[in-house]
A and B are shown apart, each in its own frame.
Chain A
Amino acid sequence: MTTHYSKDHEWISIENGIGTVGITEHAQQALGDVVFVEVPDIGRVVVAKEAVAVVESVKAASDIFSPAAGEIVAVNNAIVKNSALVNEGAETTAWFFKIKLANPSDLDGLMDKAGYDRYCAENA
C-alpha cells in the first residue's frame, strides 16, 4: 500500500486499484475544530482535481478535491455523523471516500511523504 499527497493537502492510499482519500494531519491542524463534513454520493464518477467533498471548521469551509479520476465506491459516514473524528484521525480512521481509479497515472503528479513534508515546511 502506497500513500501519495497532493498540494491541496489530500492524501490518497492505493490498494488493489482502490484509492482511499482523506485530508492530511497538517490540513487538520490548520483547519482547527471540524464541525461539518459532506461526502460524495457512492457511484459518482469524478475527474482528477474535481471538488467532491467538503470539510468545514469553526473557521472556514474547504473543498476536498479527488487527487485522481474514477468512481466513488465508498464513503465514511462515521465522519459525517461525528465530524470531530477528522481532528482525531485525519490520516487514519477519518478517511472521506474510496475511489476506483480510472487512470493510475493521475498519481504521478503527487508527492510522497517526504516530498509533502518538505512542501509544507516551504509553504509554512
Chain B
Amino acid sequence: MTTASPPPADPGIADAPLRRTPLYDGHVALGAKMVPFAGYEMPVQYPLGVLKEHLWTREKCGLFDVSHMGQAALYADDRAHVTVARALEHLVAADLVNLPPGLQRYTQLLDDSGGIIDDLMVARSEDPADAGALGLVVNAGCKNGDYVHIARLLPDGVHLTPVDDHALLALQGPAAVAVMAKLGPASAALGFMQTRAMLVGGIDCRVTRSGYTGEDGFEISVHDDRARELWDLLTADPNIQPIGLGARDSLRLEAGLCLYGHDIDTASSPIEAGLSWSIQKRRRVEGGFPGAVRIQRELREGPQRVRVGIKPDGRAPAREGTEIVSESGAKLGIVTSGGFGPSVNGPIAMGYVIAHAAGVGAKINLLVRGKPLPATIVQLPFVPHRYARLVPSSRPAER
C-alpha cells in the first residue's frame, strides 16, 4: 500500500526548523498527531479522528489552533484611516476606505496580471484609539513573502508590523455562540465579520465573528502568554472538541471556501475563482489595484474559466490534480481540491472548468486512475453557510 495523495501539501519552507505555536504542548497533551505544515508543527488530528472531528464541528463546536497564520498590523503615521486604507487599496481590490470601524473584510493581494498572491482578512478596529491602523490575517505559508511584498509597496508614512507574539484560535460551530456568551458576553452581540477587543474568561482578546468552516463562529487573537490558558478554558467545555487541520480542510471544502496554493494562486484571478463578491462596487468602477485591466474585463465579459463545485456521481473521491473532461473526452479543466465530505457523506470537489461548460447541472467526467468517472457540476457551497449575518447578504451564492 502506498499513499498517493498526502494531506494538504505543505506550501514551501522545506528545510527550515519547524516552529511551534504556544499551544504545542496542549496539542500533545490531548494526544494530537503533529505534522509539519507551513513551517510549523501542527495538529492534523486528535484521537477523535478527522471524520468525527468534522461532524462534531457541524453539530456542536470545534476549537482550532490557527496560530501559524500571519497576524500583522498596518499603521499610518498621520493616524488617518483614509491614509492606511488607500495604501492597502493599492495592493488589493476591496473597498477599504469605506470599511466601517469594527468590521473585517475578505480580500486578496493581487499581482500585476490580476493573479492572487495570497488571500487575507483585513479588519478595522472599533476603537477610535486605533485610528489609522488595519489588522491583517494572511496565510501561514505565504506570510513571509506577503510581508516583504506589502512593505515594499507601502508609501512613506505607512508601516507594516508583523504581530508575532499573538496566537489565533478559531471556535466554530452552532454551539460556539453559547460558549462565548458565557466567557465574553460582548461576543454574542457581534454579527458576521464584526470585530471587537474584549475580555474572554478574563483574558484580553480580539474577537471576530468569522471562520473557515461555513459555520457560525469566532476567531480569537490572544497574546502568546495567555493562549494556553484560553485554550484550556475552552477545551474544558463539554461542547467543545479540539479539531485538527484534517477536518479544517474537509470543513472548508464543504463550505466551498478556497485554499490558497490549491484553489487560488498567481495563475488564477479573483473573478475566475468566483470571488467577485469581494470586490466592492467603488473599486470595480474606479480600478486602481494590480491587474485591474484584466479583472475589470473579466467582470464585464466573464472569465475564460471558472471555479465550480463538483459532485462525483459514484463514491470514489477525485483528488487535487484530477483531470476534468467532457462526456466525449475533451479536456475541460482540473480539480483543485477534492476528497470526502463527511457531512455530505460522499465525495466532493472543486476545480476550474472552461466557462462554456461550467453551468450548474452540467455532466462531466473525472479521470480517476485513468478511468472516466461521471460527475455533475453543482452550486457551491456543498453545505449551506450558517453565518450570523446582521443584515441579509447581498453576496450572491458562489457558483
> Which chain A residues border B246 with CB–CB below 8 Å?
32, 58-59
A55 to B317, CA, bound (A): 11
Minimal Cβ-Cβ distance residue in A for B6? A60
Main secondary structure of the interface of A (DSSP, over half): strand
Enumerate chain B residues within 8 angstroms of A60, measured Cβ to Cβ.
3-7
Minimal beta-carbon separation of A44 from chain B (angstroms): 14
The verdict on B340 contacting chain A, using a C-beta distance below 8 Å, is yes
- The answer to whether A32 and B49 touch (CB under 8 A), given A58-B250, A61-B319, is yes
How far apart are B55's CB and chain A's nearest CB, in angstroms?
10
Asked if A55 and B316 make an inter-chain contact with CB atoms under 8 angstroms apart, the answer reads no
Structural contact, B340 and A36, CB atoms closer than 8 A = yes
Determine if A56 is an interface residue (Cβ-Cβ < 8 Å).
yes
**How far is the CB of A22 from the nearest CB of chain B, in Å?**
10
Per-residue CB proximity of A62-77 to B under 8 Å, as 1/0? 1111000000000000
**Are the C-beta atoms of B347 and A64 separated by less than 8 Å?**
no
Which A-chain residue is minimally distant from B314 (CB atoms)? A36
| Contact size range, A | 20 to 34
Q: Tell me which residues from 18 to 42 in chain A have a Cβ below 8 Å from any Cβ of chain B.
A: 23, 27, 31-33, 35-36, 38
Q: How far is the CB of B37 from chain A (nearest CB, A)?
A: 13
B interface bracket (residues with beta carbon within 8 Å of A): 20 to 34
User: A31 contacts which chain B residues (CB < 8 A)?
Assistant: 3
What per-residue 1/0 map shows which CB atoms of B85-99 lie under 8 Å from chain A?
Answer: 000000000000000
> What is the distance, in angstroms, from A100's C-beta to the closest C-beta of chain B?
21
Judged by a CB distance under 8 angstroms, whether B378 is at the interface is: no
Residues in A with CB closer than 8 Å to B45 are 32
Whether, in the assembled complex, B36 has its beta carbon less than 8 Å from a beta carbon of chain A, the answer is no
B52: A residues at CB distance < 8 A? 33
| Given A33-B49, A36-B315, A36-B317, A63 contacting B4 (CB threshold 8 A) | yes
Residue of B4, B6, B51, B315 touching A58 (CB-CB under 8 A): B51
Query: Residues 335-378 of chain B: 1 if any A CB is under 8 Å from the residue's CB, otherwise 0?
Result: 00001101000010000000000000000000001000000000
A8 proximal to B (CB < 8 A)? yes
A10 close to B (CB within 8 Å): yes
The answer to whether A47 has its CB under 8 Å from any CB of chain B is: no
Q: A56-B340, A59-B50, A60-B6 are in contact. Are A27 and B1 (CB under 8 A)?
A: yes
B47-88 vs A, CB cutoff 8 Å, 1 = contact: the mask equals 001111010000000000000000000000000000000000
Closest-by-CB residue of A relative to B52 is A33
Residues from chain A with Cβ under 8 Å of B319 in the complex: 61
Determine the chain B residues whose CB is within 8 A of the CB of A62 once the complex forms.
1-4
List chain A positions with a Cβ less than 8 A from chain B.
8-10, 23, 27, 31-33, 35-36, 38, 54-65
10 A-B pairs within 8 Å (CB atoms) are namely: A9-B1, A27-B1, A33-B52, A35-B347, A56-B317, A58-B250, A58-B342, A61-B3, A61-B317, A62-B4
